[in-house]
Amino acid sequence: MSEVYVIGHKSPDTDSVCAAIAYANFKRLTGENAAAVAARAGEINPETEFVLKHFEVEPPKQLDNAAGRKLILVDHNEFGQMVDGADKADIIEVLDHHRIEFKLANPILFHTEPVGSTSTLIAEKYFEKGIKLDKKMAGILLAAILSDTVVFKSPTSTERDKKVAEKLAKMVGVDPLKFGVEVKKAKASLAGKSAKDIIFSDFKDYNFGGKRVGVGQVEIVDIEEARSRKKDILGEMERMVKQEGYDMIFMMLTDIIKEGTELLVVGDKEGTVTKKAFNAVLKDNSVYIEGMMSRKKQVIPPLEKTLG
Ligand code: MN
Ligand code: MN
């Protein structure tokens, strides 16, 4: 029996990694797909590393090229975000919570819902089928929900996410709010990271009306530390526009305590796109936007509207 890889997006975040592990486990336990194996499309970030170590769960195996493989995609559905070789793979299912940018010649199971994390949908599947969640699975699903919803502060967070997280937290025996802060802090320091590491810790590619746009986000707890790295990060973004074929790059330095984002922009020469999309005026390629927390809800839709 050939393996079916359950895999999240490139630059994997905690939701992409934990959803892949828990959904592959669900597929095997229910017998829906005995060949399901969790995989990842890149390096594990420090937050995910903390979570997996905390619950003593092995990281999924890294898949560098998916050509010729069977795939179940979790936490994404855009081709630009898929593992390399996905265009030559056999995608048999999608489970996600993002905007839909997907096309395939043959019919498949495609499930998306506007909730705060893919892991919420997976936990609900376990509950519905009455499949027992052990502490490890409950723990990583909880951590992924807390991560994606920024401990319920993100505008993408819904009542369903909260309800599911509370149920999981009881199984694990932790206070979700306290544990959430612990999870988020694991990734929040920029010390010792190169500009490239910072940009690619959570970076996604989009196609807006034929333009190649990259949008990165890093969550921080110290805006001054982040601002001190601004020049360095902008330099790397400029290099990417010049050498890697991006039309524009947006980098969100999101302060999860203050609940706002220092937005760095390269490729928007007159600042007109930023002005139109966010009603914000760039100064030296950046602007602080109060209340901006979510790439998916507050950055992608206005960019798509402006550029698409
Ligand atoms: Mn994700
Ligand atoms: Mn997600």
DSSP string covering 7-25, please?
EEEES--HHHHHHHHHHHH
∠ at Cα 121 (40, 140), nearest 5°? Answer: 50
| Beta strand 260-266 pairing with 286-290 | antiparallel
Q: Summarize the confidence of residues 16-21 as an average pLDDT.
A: 98
Helix (H, G, I), strand (E, B) or coil at 205: strand
CB atoms under 10 Å from CB of 97, counted, come to 26
Q: Mean of the per-residue pLDDT values for the chain?
A: 96
Supply the pLDDT for residue 82: 98
Q: Summarize the confidence of residues 108-114 as an average pLDDT.
A: 98
Strand intervals (E) in 139-210: 203-208
Helix (H, G, I), strand (E, B) or coil at 92: strand
Number of H helices, E strands in the chain: 11, 11
User: Above 80 in pLDDT, residue 188?
Assistant: no
pTM, whole model, 2 decimals? 0.87
Q: Summarize the confidence of residues 158-171 as an average pLDDT.
A: 98
CA of 78 to the centre of ligand 1 (A): 12
Supply the pLDDT for residue 175: 97
Q: What is the DSSP letter of 102?
A: -
Whether 193 and 219 have beta carbons less than 8 Å apart is answered as no
Q: Which ligand is closest in space to the CA of residue 78?
A: 1
Share of the chain above pLDDT 90, in %: 92
CA of 76 to the centre of ligand 1 (A): 7
CA of 204 to the centre of ligand 1 (A): 9
Tokens of 202: 């959570």
Tokens of 171: 């199984």
CA of 15 to the centre of ligand 2 (A): 5
Domains of the chain: 4-184 (3.90.1640.10), 195-307 (3.10.310.20)
User: Above 80 in pLDDT, residue 249?
Assistant: yes
- Give dist(CA 263, CA 224) in Å, integer: 14
- Cβ partners under 8 Å of residue 144, min gap 6: 14, 15, 17, 18, 19, 51, 117, 118, 119
User: Above 80 in pLDDT, residue 148?
Assistant: yes
CA of 269 to the centre of ligand 2 (A): 31
pLDDT tens-place string over residues 286-299: 999 999 999 999 99
Supply the pLDDT for residue 225: 87
